[in-house]
Amino acid sequence: MSHPRDPYDRSHEQQADDVYGQEPWMLDPYADPYVGQMAPEGYTPEQLYGQEPYVPGPETGQMLAQTGDPPPYESDYQTGEFTGEFQPELQGEFQPEYEAWPTADEMRVGEPEPEAEPQRGKGGRMAAAAAAAAAARPRLRRVRRQRGRRLDNTALVALGLIGAMAVALLLNRPHQWEQPTLAAESSAPKAATVVCPGKPKAGADEVSVTNAADGSGEVTLSGPGAGKGAPATVGSGKVTTTAAKPGSVVIKADKEVAPGLVAGRSTTKPLAATACLAPQAEAWFPGVGAGATHNSILELTNPNSGAATVDISLYDEKGVVAVPEDLRGVAIPGNTTRTFDLLHVIPRKGELSLKTTVVRGQAGVMVRDRAVALETGATKEDYFPGQSTPAETNLLVGYPNSSASRTLTVVNPGDAQVSAELRLLTPKNVLTPEGAPEISVPPNGQAQVDLTKLLDKDSADDAYGIEIVASGPVTTAMRSVDGGDVAITTATETVSEATAVVVPAGAGVGKKRVVIAGPVAKTGSSGTVQVVPVTAKGKALKAKSVEVGPGQGAEIEVPAEAALIQLVPEGVEVNAAVVMSGDGDAVVPFHPLRSEVRTAGVAPGLPLPLEP
């Protein structure tokens, strides 16, 4: 029997439904069962902790009897003595399996080793386990509190930084940041290269070179049309003319002659002329031909020793045209020229528009446009310089006074349809003529307009050019044909500083006139333009000055013996060209003179300001 003061005897207490769940041997071994309780009379806490694990006695059977469950075996509930036969099958069903109480080492499995083993006092294994658990709990709580304080401090610092940045942005608005002044550096070019296309099919051919600045020295002529490539001496204001073979000619100048280098190629019978241009990364040729009566020859010249590659695109009224294999990724070996006769490469009726894009190296690009008379087979050619960049406003300045047919071609490189308006340039104003056609250009396509009647002398006697204003960037060109002769008028470049062109002079050249168009925008300024004709030997002829402004232009007659024409704008931007007549017609536009190279300044600073 148990001791009358046995602390584990709870038979006098009200029992719960789950009797076995209340047994001390099923409780947490780390928990203190006497926390908050008074020790029984006559027992000290040390004596209680020192007792052995509880083994159910007769009191347990007595508690089972109070629940009303049938006993698993017959016995005396008061004494616990067995009075009946033993039934092992019932014993396994009702009698719990008791496990041995875990030792202190087993209870410490999986826990970190303490710095020092707590001294085990009197009380046995339960006391040691309770002491170890009590010693560990405060340390864990202290660690959690320290981590919480560290995270709180970090969050406060981050919030403080965000607030400071917000205040700084409010006080200093981005569009008010002061940027450092980056002054671009200008210097004279140390070298210059221009490419002259091959000669037309007929006519006496020559290449002319000069320096429109103050430089003088030697230039090198190379290429199929230069023969042995002997150097030529060039002086400021003097035109050096050399005979050339049918092929293209590459002219290279060093630092003495590079600033202000000007060159051209021409024939006099029949008349054809063009400026020799620097290599272009991109060029547009609206209205080329690939048919029996209108044919064009594309000429690609590589002025360097390294290889070059050019991509070619074609357009018509319906959109992009499939490019033949011969025109895909055209490879040009160093110091060579490749020509493509479109009649043989992509024969078709009607005009095309052509675009060249240099994807590797450098290349000079030019088209020779040809008119063929089917009855006689007579052929006449003229040079077709390309337009470098599409623009919303294009000025076609200068064209022959009389022509049997005039065809305007407008190319739209964009993906949306573009509408364009045609206006006439006159000396006094820019006007929209009566009966002007409505021009609608499909995306990635071209549109052609017949301007023969509109530009007839009776209806546009004083007009000297055309202005095309489009709703999107376009490229334009006009082809004039008269008696089998061809003249091409392309969109001109804006000139704001002194420049010059070389033109043919001789018996085959008749009248020459310089056509000048003032600024397009109404906000443009007015100014004067001086035209200075110079002979091949450098003799300056009588100069003339005219006043031009927005919507106002002028035409100036030039003596036939002029081989060099200098154009000097003063405080105004202009577009200009030279129109020549004789054994045919030719139009040579002015280009900006390459007299300096600008290098952008670089300096550390704040990001670019945003718009407010």
Output the pTM of the full model.
0.68
The string of pLDDT tens digits covering residues 170-214 is: 666 554 545 555 555 666 778 999 999 998 776 668 899 999 888
Give the pLDDT confidence score for residue 507 in this predicted structure.
72
Euclidean distance between CA atoms 527 and 533, whole angstroms: 20
Tell me how crowded residue 489 is: count the other CB atoms within 10 A of its CB: 24
Any bridge partners for residue 480, and if so which?
406, 487
Give the pLDDT confidence score for residue 12 in this predicted structure.
56
Whole-Å CA distances, 38 to 35, 41, 124: 8, 9, 20
Any bridge partners for residue 290, and if so which?
295
The string of pLDDT tens digits covering residues 562-583 is: 999 999 999 999 999 999 998 8
Q: Report the DSSP pairing between strands 364-372 and 351-360.
A: unpaired
List all residues 6 or more positions away from 207 whose beta carbon is below 8 Å from its beta carbon.
Answer: 196, 221, 225, 241, 242, 243, 244, 249, 251, 263, 264, 265, 276
Handedness of CA 544, 545, 546, 550 (dihedral sign): positive
- The amino acid that residue 39 corresponds to is A
Give the pLDDT confidence score for residue 20 in this predicted structure.
45
Do residues 524 and 518 lie in contact, with contact meaning Cβ atoms separated by under 8 Å? yes
- Chain CA centroid to CA 463, Å: 42
Query: SS3 string of 527-551?
Result: EEEEEEEECCCCCECCCEEEEEECC
- Report which of 331, 374, 324 is spatially closest to residue 346, judged by C-alpha positions: 324
Ranges in the chain, pLDDT < 70: 1-152, 169-187, 202-204, 459, 522-523, 595-612
**What is the set of domains in the chain, with CATH numbers?**
187-387 (2.60.290.11), 389-491 (2.60.290.11), 494-599 (2.60.120)
Tell me how crowded residue 214 is: count the other CB atoms within 10 A of its CB: 11
Give the pLDDT confidence score for residue 120 in this predicted structure.
47
Euclidean distance between CA atoms 503 and 510, whole angstroms: 12
